[in-house]
Structure 1
Amino acid sequence: MAADGKSKVLEYEQFLNERLREDLRLILEQRDKLYEEISEYLQLKSTIEKIKEDINPESVLKTKVDLGCNFYVQANVPDPTSICVAIGYGFFLEMTLDEAVVFIKKKTDVLQEKIDILTADAGKVKAHIRLVLEGLRELQQIQAETDPGFRDVLS
């Protein structure tokens, strides 16, 4: 292979390793964070539904609160009919339990749309990675790997 061909191979490998794979890693990290956020909202929804089943409006809710590092204290909630929900950007909003369930549904729908966009972006980056790998294979004149799991019908 000529020196020009070797330099092109190095450029493509550098682009593949430093740009495309890093882009894919960042996209997948963002998507994982959104999945975690959806999980937290669904856990909150489950807790709200359990509170709605078990507590009447006149009673006091007794619970344990994690202060950090798995250090729990007992807490009494005098009004279990409302809850403060993180709505984003560090803001919390006091809502009734029914309002919170509606908000959680809307919020998880928005987060799922973002996840769908990131999944599509990850697919595009994976396609670019595959394209660069095929280009490298051609530049280096390497035979394409055949999948041992599949057999040609004519052979």
Structure 2
Amino acid sequence: MDPISRKVEEYERFLNEKLKEDLRVLLEQRDKIYGQIAEYFQLKTTIEQIKDNKITKNLKTKVDLGCNFYVQANVPDATKICVFIGFGFFLEMTLDEALKFIDKRTKFLTEHSDKLSSDALKVKANIRLVLEGLRELQNLDMPSEPPRREVF
């Protein structure tokens, strides 16, 4: 195997095993954060509706037990809510505290997703760079054709 073919193989391996995998992981992480942001916005909307309708007692709702299996629930005190704060922990908060927390959390998650998007763009640029390098190496490997002359 000639040195150019070895280099082409090496770059292709780097492209497929490292760069494309890094890009996949970054995009998965970003999509997971987008899902969390959407859940917080949905919670914020629910809290605002509870506040607007001045519901403080006996809130009837449906709770998802998982796999879209819902049961009816009765909340005796709707002035407080348990909010997921991360690492598997929930914290009981008043509705106003929850709204403040949601704003801070979504801001943090948005900044983190922006960073992941920026990192993904860098990896995509590196992929393009490696592809261009491969194209150049493969053109070196091919025998050059003599220039064509136009006949008039």
Which segments of structure 1 move beyond 6 Å, counting only runs of 4 or more?
none
Residue 130 to residue 62, structure 1, CA distance change in 2 (3 Å): same
Q: Aligned-pair distance for 1:65?
A: 1.6
Give the letter for the 1:55 counterpart.
K
Larger Rg: 2
Q: Does 1:28 align with 2:52?
A: no
* Alignment-derived partner of residue 72 in structure 2: 74
* Alignment-derived partner of residue 53 in structure 1: 52
Partner SS state of residue 133, structure 2: helix
Identity within the alignment, %: 67
Q: How many residues align?
A: 140
The Cα offsets for residues 53-104 of structure 1, whole Å up to 9 and x where unpaired, read as 12333x3111122223333222111110110000000111111101100100
* Alignment-derived partner of residue 85 in structure 1: 83
Partner SS state of residue 141, structure 1: helix
Of the three residues 93, 96, 99, the one matched with 1:95 is 93
* Alignment-derived partner of residue 149 in structure 2: none
Give the letter for the 1:62 counterpart.
K
Q: Does 1:138 align with 2:143?
A: no
Across the aligned residues of Structure 1 and Structure 2, the Cα RMSD in angstroms comes to 1.4
Unmatched tracts of structure 1, length 5 or more? 143-155
* Alignment-derived partner of residue 13 in structure 1: 12
Q: Hey, what's the Cα distance between the residues in 2 that align with 1:105 and 1:76?
A: 27
Of the three residues 124, 134, 148, the one matched with 1:126 is 124
Partner SS state of residue 83, structure 1: strand
